[in-house]
């Protein structure tokens, strides 16, 4: 498990969680549940934000507390941190023990849902399923009587989660093909180096 790393701004925003004037003790757990639910459902509104439109200072502080809390929840879930680690982190920035316990409880109960959300929003590039190629020899063109150079036609069959099977075709000169092969070999070595 890696250590949690949030910016100094996030520390300041999370410190707003200490203020009972901003979020009273009775509403604190529901406030945290609303934050998690807003992460999981785009249309979900945080009730406390909706009710504080009359006081712009409180609204700003509440939004900062929401941003800091959401960032901590996401970062902790991404790194698969234990609830105790999240609690220690909150204690280190001065959050009262009652609120730390509440935060730990909400995090522990909703961690798996946040992790599932994070797994769905990752970048999924298409996988190359098959490669077909052929060598074409250009003998002449409309503008030149004689060319005499090879041209490679490459067709990639790719599979993407959202698009299904797709075909991508392109042509390459010898130099371009050599450059492509060199870049692919370099990428393979880089991946192998990072996987060790």
For the stretch 85-113, pLDDT in tens is 999 999 988 999 999 999 999 999 999 99
Q: In the CATH scheme, what architecture does the domain 127-195 have?
A: Roll (3.10)
pLDDT computed for residue 1 by the predictor? 43
Ranges for all domains in the chain classified under CATH 3.10.450: 127-195
pLDDT over 90 for what percent of the chain? Answer: 43
Consecutive H or E run containing 53: none
pLDDT of residue 2 exceeding 60: no
Q: What's the DSSP call for residue 150?
A: E
Q: How far apart are CA 51 and CA 153, in angstroms?
A: 62
Determine which of 49-63, 110-124, 143-157 has the lowest per-residue pLDDT on average: 49-63
Of the spans 10-14, 19-23, 52-56, 140-144, which averages the highest pLDDT? 10-14
pLDDT of residue 169 exceeding 90: yes
Q: How many CB atoms lie within 10 A of CB 182?
A: 10
Q: What's phi and psi for 133, nearest 5 deg?
A: -145, 160
Q: What's the DSSP call for residue 63?
A: H
Higher-pLDDT residue of 72 and 56 is: 72
pLDDT computed for residue 108 by the predictor? 95
Instruction: pLDDT band for 122, please (50, 70, 90 cuts).
Output: low
pLDDT of residue 47 exceeding 90: no
Q: How far apart are CA 163 and CA 159, in angstroms?
A: 7
Determine which of 24-28, 49-53, 85-89, 186-190 has the lowest per-residue pLDDT on average: 49-53
Q: For Cα atoms 188, 192, 195, give the angle at the middle one, nearest 5 degrees.
A: 140
């Amino acid at each position: 498990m890696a250590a949690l790393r949030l910016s100094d701004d996030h520390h300041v925003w999370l410190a707003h969680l200490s203020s009972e004037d901003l979020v009273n003790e009775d509403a604190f757990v529901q406030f945290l549940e609303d934050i998690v639910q807003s992460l999981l459902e785009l249309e979900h509104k945080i009730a406390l934000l909706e009710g504080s439109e009359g006081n712009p200072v409180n609204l700003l502080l509440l939004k900062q507390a929401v941003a800091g809390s959401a960032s901590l929840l996401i970062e902790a879930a991404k790194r698969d941190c234990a609830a105790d680690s999240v609690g220690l982190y909150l204690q280190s920035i001065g959050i009262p023990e009652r609120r730390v316990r509440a935060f730990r409880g909400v995090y522990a109960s909703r961690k798996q849902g946040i992790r599932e959300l994070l797994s769905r929003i990752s970048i999924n590039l298409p996988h190359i399923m098959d490669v077909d190629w052929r060598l074409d020899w250009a003998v002449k063109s409309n503008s030149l009587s004689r060319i005499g150079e090879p041209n490679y036609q490459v067709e990639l069959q790719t599979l993407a989660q959202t698009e299904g099977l797709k075909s991508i075709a392109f042509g390459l000169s010898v130099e371009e093909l050599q450059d492509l092969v060199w870049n692919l070999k370099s990428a393979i070595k880089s991946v192998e180096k990072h996987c060790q």
